[in-house]
């Protein structure tokens, strides 16, 4: 119910006319999917970027007191014995490993550390509109728009005309980007390689 409320609020705030998908969008206001800003789910090398609520496995060789599972707090940090508070949000596994090693060096000689994401709980997207399974989907790995639509069961109405992505810009503003659904039906290469970002709202209209 909580996730459904989020979806409804997003639709109401960003697209007051979303439920009337037969109403054309004002001329000149449409932004194509190709102009959607890149999110912060993966870096340029394809490494997953840790975020709030992700579950991490951290191993420090020879130190059972530090090794274990850690969940990223709402503030984006994890708390480790000896190392103290370490920022995890926005870092890859390797970057967090290096950060932990720096924190441990005053206490451990040549610390050897490994970091792995056990549960990417922050990689959540929302589906609404004319899809078989509207609601929240936790993605297990890097996912394209077409793969996400498949997880949502596809669209329910062959008269649907467009796919919409509501995504937060780097400035923290949610904006709407869209594409003709024929591009998806026809296997358009760009749409096929359009990566979903955490927090995306996908709507079929």
Q: Which domains does the chain have, with CATH numbers?
A: 2-41+123-204 (3.10.560.10), 55-119 (3.30.1950.10)
Task: Report how far apart, in Å, the C-alpha atoms of 60 and of each of 96, 146, 161 are.
Answer: 13, 39, 53
User: If you average pLDDT over residues 41-51, what whole number do you get?
Assistant: 94
CA–CA gap between residue 125 and residue 7 (Å, rounded): 10
Query: Is the pLDDT at 61 greater than 80, yes or no?
Result: yes
Q: What is the pLDDT of residue 192?
A: 67
Q: Summarize pLDDT for 105-138 with one digit per residue, the tens.
A: 999 999 999 999 999 999 999 999 999 999 999 9
pLDDT of residue 90: 96
Q: What is the rounded distance in angstroms from the CA atom of residue 41 to the CA atom of residue 104?
A: 27
**pTM (2 d.p.):** 0.80
């Amino acid at each position: 119910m909580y996730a459904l409320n989020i979806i409804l609020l997003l639709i109401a705030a960003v697209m007051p006319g979303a439920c009337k998908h037969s109403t054309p969008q004002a001329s000149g206001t449409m932004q194509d999917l190709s102009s959607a800003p890149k999110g912060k789910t993966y870096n340029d090398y394809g490494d997953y970027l840790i975020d709030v609520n992700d579950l991490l496995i951290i191993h420090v060789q020879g130190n059972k007191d530090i090794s274990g599972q850690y969940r990223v707090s709402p503030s984006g940090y994890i708390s480790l014995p000896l190392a103290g508070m370490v920022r995890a949000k926005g870092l890859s596994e390797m970057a967090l490993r290096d950060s932990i090693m720096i924190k441990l060096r005053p206490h451990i000689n040549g610390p050897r550390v490994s970091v792995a994401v056990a549960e990417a709980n922050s990689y959540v997207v929302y589906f609404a509109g004319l899809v078989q399974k509207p609601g929240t989907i936790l993605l297990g790995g890097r996912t394209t728009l077409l793969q996400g639509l498949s997880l949502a069961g596809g669209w329910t109405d062959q008269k649907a005309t467009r796919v919409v992505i509501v995504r937060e810009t780097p400035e923290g503003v949610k904006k709407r980007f869209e594409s003709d659904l024929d591009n998806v039906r026809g296997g358009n290469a760009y749409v096929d390689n359009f990566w979903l970002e955490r927090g995306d709202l996908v709507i079929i209209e």
